[in-house]
Amino acid sequence: MSRIAATFARLRAANHQGLIPFITAGDPSIEVTVPLMHALVEAGANMVELGVPFSDPMADGPVIQRASERALHAGTNLGHVLEMVREFRQRNADTPVILMGYLNPFEIAGYDAFAKAAADAGVDGVLTVDLPPEEAGEFLAAVRSNHLDLIFLLAPTSDEARIRRICDTASGFVYYVSLKGVTGASNLDVVSVAEKVKEIKRFTQLPVGVGFGISDGKTAAEIATVSDAVVVGSVLVKAIESMLDRPQEIPKTLAAVVADMRQAMDASAETPAAG
Partner 1 sequence: MARLLNEPPEERLLGQLPDARGHFGPYGGCFVAETLMGPIRELKEAYALYARDPEFLAEFHQDLKHYVGRPSPLYLAERWTKKLGGARIYLKREDLNHTGAHKVNNTVGQALLAKRMGKTRIIAETGAGQHGVATATVAARLGLECVVYMGEEDIHRQAPNVFRMKLLGAKVVSVTSGSKTLKDALNEAMRDWVTNIDNTYYIIGTVAGPHPYPAMVRDFNSVIGREAREQILEQAGRLPDALIACVGGGSNAMGLFYPFIDDSEVALYGVEAGGDGIETGRHAAPLTAGKPGVLHGNRTYLMEDVDGQIIPTHSISAGLDYPGVGPEHAWLKDTGRAQYVTIDDREALAAFHDLTRTEGIIPALESAHALAQAGKLAPTMRGDDIIVVSLSGRGDKDIQTVAAIEGMDL
Residues of this chain that interact with partner 1 (CB under 8 A) are 54-62, 65-66, 69, 72, 77-78, 102-109, 129-132, 134-135, 152-159, 162, 166, 177, 180-182, 185
CB nearer partner 1, residue 126 or residue 258: 126
Whether 222 is catalytic: no
Residue 210: closest CA among 230, 226, 185: 230
Nearest distance, CB of residue 54 and partner 1, angstroms: 7
Strands 152-154 and 97-101: unpaired
Minimal distance in Å, beta carbon 38 to partner 1?
26
Report whether 43 contacts 91 (CB < 8 A).
no
Smallest separation, CB 19 to partner 1 (Å): 23
Beta carbons within 10 angstroms of residue 128's beta carbon: 24
* Catalytic residue status for 49: yes
Helix (H) or strand (E) holding 56: none
- The catalytic position among 42, 56, 60, 241 is 60
Interatomic CA distance for residues 111 and 1, integer angstroms: 24
Q: Which is nearer to partner 1, 169 or 263 (CB)?
A: 169
Q: Nearer to partner 1 by C-beta: 12 or 73?
A: 73
Q: How far apart are CA 30 and CA 26, in angstroms?
A: 4
Decide whether 13 or 108 has the Cβ nearer to partner 1: 108
Contacts of residue 36, Cβ cutoff 8 Å, sequence gap at least 6: 23, 250, 251, 254
Residue 154: CB minimum distance to partner 1, A: 6
Catalytic residue (one of 49, 124, 149, 228): 49
Measured between alpha carbons, how far is 25 from 47 in angstroms, rounded to an integer?
15
Number of helices (H) and strands (E) in the chain: give both, helices first: 12, 9
Instruction: Give the span between the Cα atoms of 268 and 223, in whole angstroms.
Output: 10
Listed residue (175, 189, 151, 182) closest to 231, CA to CA: 175
CB of 182 to partner 1, least distance (A): 5
| CB nearer partner 1, residue 147 or residue 180 | 180
Q: Which residues are catalytic?
A: 49, 60
